[in-house]
């Protein structure tokens, strides 16, 4: 029986770009993973770089210890880039690079490789994330102060607009804002405020020819988050599109509707993934994907999905394949792409979109009154708002007001044959770092040292003279300059920066559920003879600080004296802070997979400093066998994402201190 007629036949829409976010260990292994995923039907690459690469350090720098190849691929020089893209035709590939502080450098390496392969720059397609503002607010891979960082962002935009017309020079990124606790309104307003700050910077440079600014605007893209509140997230996407159209027309006078399009890629929410009953994450990922694909007028241009087991550790190729197949089934087995926008004319959708737009405009006006996004970063306003929003979210889950299946409701569970299987996650070989360092040393020895020195000198001159940084960076790439050398050359000119933590010193007035805990803190403090002091540190290069911030806020509200100085501290700095502040307990937060070497380093330094009577506790994405190893090394307690009840953690801390004070 044939289907009833629905009018004239319409062409099936082209699917979005299918990506998986990938990279680990080294360029060779990552290349093999990319080629395997492309063979499975992935249509674009999304490159994850390790933390030393993201923060401008070579793999053999002391701060890179334990971090090499853990959360992405290490790229120290052009040779690594060659290996990473071996047998992958750059002229045909759409490559997304999640890189920010060092975006100009990774773009330079990519362009240098394309030049080497004879691929015309105008053929290159892809994206550099290049959104430094959200790094100060959430992800933490910033290096330089805001002003020179914005200059680098501008330089990439101007270079690519002129020489790489198919390249998106920036993904204004709200993804990590939601991961840090942003409400839909904050995600809209903070991301749009960032885009405005970037475009204002480009416009103020005077480097864009009259009448050509629309082309700059047309190359701006966004990278967003989609959570589990399906209708709200779908409406947020439609609100984004409408607000961007208004801003680009009214503020920048862009007349071409195509240049005003809200073009975005998405990774759906990893914050919602749970360590408990992790198989439920498959359902969560699928629902989140629907929010950015069902509404044609606000459909993502590219989608990358996390794997079901990312709350446990690094996913395996099979896990990534499962997420890729979800996209392919929706695109090719359903009739989604055969219809127009199925939400047009829906009153509930229109009402929700208008409410989001109205509230986002109010927040945008407030940020503008503060002096714009950069001023709101420097004054700590946006960071503080995110910390407070995240606090409300965590408390709602703790109180059971926000239901999370398997976490605070329906917790009875069969044992998982997936999570319980041997090798359920991918682990990076301990030899990967040593091998990468050996290759780096060999590269430095084999290059033309005079050419590298001359290129670095020209880079420093360009930085001082405010010339576009990309052309001399390409020269550096071709001369064999390394990531760390590039990074330190610019550190000499621009300096480094430590962003506000968003964690205030004064406790909140709201004390629901804290009375008993505060009483215990008071009792133990009297026993100690002064206020119980909790020093909290993030060793290594991991910039994901959301968990540490929430621990700091709860400890402060429970009545402890909390010392938290933010991200990227060395073990030596953390131990010195414990000594100076007279810590009664030291907490370490590490989410990059580098917990074993970094924690053991801190523990050893505490012992050498005569501070081994101070208990150390650790939090992060830590497999059970690693937790056992850390406890054997002297750690008093280990917490993972399943430990979501912060008051219980606080009570544990008080008991641990009480025990050591006896």
Half-sphere exposure of 317 (CA within 13 A, CB side): 13
Say whether pLDDT at 5 is over 80. no
Q: Are 464 and 151 in contact (CB under 8 A)?
A: no
**Pairwise pLDDT comparison (2 vs 590), residue with the higher score:** 590
Q: Are 44 and 96 in contact (CB under 8 A)?
A: yes
Above 80 in pLDDT, residue 610? Answer: yes
C-beta separation of 71 from 48 below 8 A: yes
pLDDT beyond 80 at 9 = no
Quick one: pLDDT at residue 427?
83
pLDDT tens, 208-241? 988 899 999 999 999 999 999 999 999 999 999 9
Share of the chain above pLDDT 70, in %: 98
Active site (catalytic) residues: 21, 175-176, 538, 542, 544
597-610 mean pLDDT: 95
Q: Are strands 125-128 and 94-98 parallel, antiparallel or unpaired?
A: parallel
For the stretch 414-424, pLDDT in tens is: 988 888 776 78
Q: What pLDDT, in 10s, does the model give residues 100-115?
A: 999 999 999 999 999 9
Residue 589: closest CA among 174, 140, 270, 183 = 140
pLDDT at 662: 67
| pLDDT 10s digits, 271-311 | 889 999 999 999 999 999 999 999 999 999 999 999 999 98
CB 334 within 8 A of CB 94: no
Q: What's the CA gap between 550 and 533, in Å, rounded?
A: 16
pLDDT-based confidence at 506, cuts 50/70/90? confident
Residue 207 has pLDDT above 80, yes or no: yes
Calculate the alpha carbon distances from 310 to 172, 279, 426, 557 in Å: 24, 11, 10, 31
d(CA 195, CA 98): 17
- The confidence score (pLDDT) of residue 6 equals 45
Instruction: State pTM to two decimals.
Output: 0.93
Phi and psi torsions of 391, nearest 5°? -60, -45
Tokens representing residue 323 in the block? 């997420």
Between 371 and 426, the more confident residue is: 371
553-570 mean pLDDT: 94
C-beta contacts of 196-199 below 8 A and 24+ residues apart:
196/247, 196/251, 196/364, 196/372, 196/373, 197/133, 197/150, 197/372, 197/373, 197/374, 198/131, 198/150, 198/153, 198/154, 198/157, 198/170, 198/172, 199/252
Confidence of residue 479 (pLDDT cuts 50, 70, 90): very high
Q: What is the pLDDT of residues 151-167, one digit of tens each?
A: 999 999 999 999 999 99
pLDDT in tens, 132-143: 999 999 989 999
Look at residue 314 in the predicted model and tell me its pLDDT: 84
Q: Which residues of 417-453 are buried (b: 16+ CB within 10 A; e: fewer)?
A: eebeeeebbbebeeebbebbbebbeebbeebeeeebe
Whether the predicted pLDDT of 661 surpasses 90 = no
- Among 3-17, 411-425, 464-478, the range of highest mean pLDDT: 464-478
The pLDDT of 331-347, averaged and rounded, is 96
CB atoms within 10 A of CB 258: 9
Q: Is the pLDDT at 55 greater than 60, yes or no?
A: yes
DSSP state of 508: P
Question: Which residue is associated with the tokens 């059970």?
Answer: 624
Angstrom distance (rounded) from CA 137 to CA 382? 7
């Amino acid at each position: 029986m044939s289907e009833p007629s629905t009018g004239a036949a319409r062409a099936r829409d082209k699917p979005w770009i299918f990506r998986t976010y990938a990279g680990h260990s080294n360029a060779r292994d990552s290349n093999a993973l990319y080629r395997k995923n492309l063979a499975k039907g992935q249509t674009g690459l999304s490159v994850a770089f390790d933390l030393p690469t993201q923060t401008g350090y070579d793999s053999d720098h002391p701060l890179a210890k334990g971090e090499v190849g853990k959360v992405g691929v290490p790229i120290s020089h052009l040779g690594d880039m060659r290996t990473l893209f071996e047998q992958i035709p750059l002229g045909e590939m759409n490559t997304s690079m999640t890189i920010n502080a060092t975006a100009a450098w990774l773009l330079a390496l990519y362009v240098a490789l394309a030049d080497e392969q004879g691929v015309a720059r105008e053929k290159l397609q892809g994206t550099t994330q290049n959104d430094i503002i959200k790094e100060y607010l959430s992800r933490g891979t910033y290096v330089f102060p805001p002003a020179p960082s914005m200059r680098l962002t501008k330089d990439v935009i101007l270079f690519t607009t002129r020489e790489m017309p198919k390249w998106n020079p920036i993904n204004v990124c709200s993804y990590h804002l939601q991961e840090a606790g942003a409400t839909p309104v904050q995600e809209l307003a903070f991301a749009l405020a960032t885009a405005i700050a970037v475009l204002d910077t480009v416009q103020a440079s005077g480097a864009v020819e009259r009448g050509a600014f629309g082309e700059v605007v047309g190359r701006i893209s966004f990278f967003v988050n989609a959570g589990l509140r399906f209708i709200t997230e779908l409406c947020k996407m439609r609100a984004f599109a409408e607000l961007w159209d208004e801003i680009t027309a009214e503020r920048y006078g862009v007349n071409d509707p195509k240049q005003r399009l809200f073009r975005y890629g998405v990774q759906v929410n990893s914050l919602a993934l749970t360590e408990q009953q992790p198989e439920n994450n498959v359902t969560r990922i699928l629902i989140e994907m629907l929010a950015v694909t069902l509404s044609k007028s606000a459909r993502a241009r590219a989608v990358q999905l996390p794997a079901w087991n990312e709350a446990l550790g690094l996913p395996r190729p099979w896990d990534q394949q499962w997420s890729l197949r979800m996209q392919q089934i929706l695109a090719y087995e359903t009739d989604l792409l055969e219809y127009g926008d199925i939400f047009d004319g829906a009153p509930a959708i229109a009402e929700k979109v208008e409410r989001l737009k109205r509230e986002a405009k109010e927040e945008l006006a407030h940020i503008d009154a503060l002096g714009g996004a950069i001023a709101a970063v420097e004054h700590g306003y946006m960071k503080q708002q995110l910390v407070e929003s995240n606090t409300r979210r965590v408390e709602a889950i703790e109180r059971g007001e926000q239901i999370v299946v398997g976490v605070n409701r329906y917790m009875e569970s069969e044992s998982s044959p997936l999570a319980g299987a041997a090798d359920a996650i991918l682990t990076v070989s301990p030899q990967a770092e040593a091998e990468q360092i050996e290759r780096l040393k060999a590269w430095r020895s084999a290059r033309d040292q005079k050419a590298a020195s001359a290129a670095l000198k020209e880079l420093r001159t360009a930085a001082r003279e405010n010339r576009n940084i990309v052309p001399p960076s390409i020269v550096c790439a071709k001369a064999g300059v390394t990531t760390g050398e590039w990074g330190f050359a610019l550190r000499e000119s621009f300096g480094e920066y430590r962003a506000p933590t968003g964690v205030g010193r004064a406790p909140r007035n709201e004390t629901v559920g804290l009375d008993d805990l505060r009483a215990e803190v008071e009792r133990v403090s009297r026993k100690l003879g002064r206020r119980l002091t909790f020093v909290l540190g993030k060793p290594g290069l991991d910039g994901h600080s959301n968990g540490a911030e929430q621990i700091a806020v709860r400890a402060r509200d429970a009545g402890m004296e909390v010392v938290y100085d933010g991200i990227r501290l060395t073990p030596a700095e953390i131990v010195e802070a414990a000594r100076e502040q007279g810590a009664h307990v030291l907490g370490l937060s590490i989410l990059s997979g580098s917990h074993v070497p970094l924690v053991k380093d801190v523990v050893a330094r505490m012992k050498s400093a005569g501070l081994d009577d101070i208990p150390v506790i650790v939090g992060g994405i830590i497999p059970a066998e690693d937790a056992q190893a850390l406890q054997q090394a002297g750690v008093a307690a280990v917490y993972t994402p399943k430990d979501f009840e912060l008051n219980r953690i606080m009570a544990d801390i008080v008991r641990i201190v009480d025990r050591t004070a006896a």
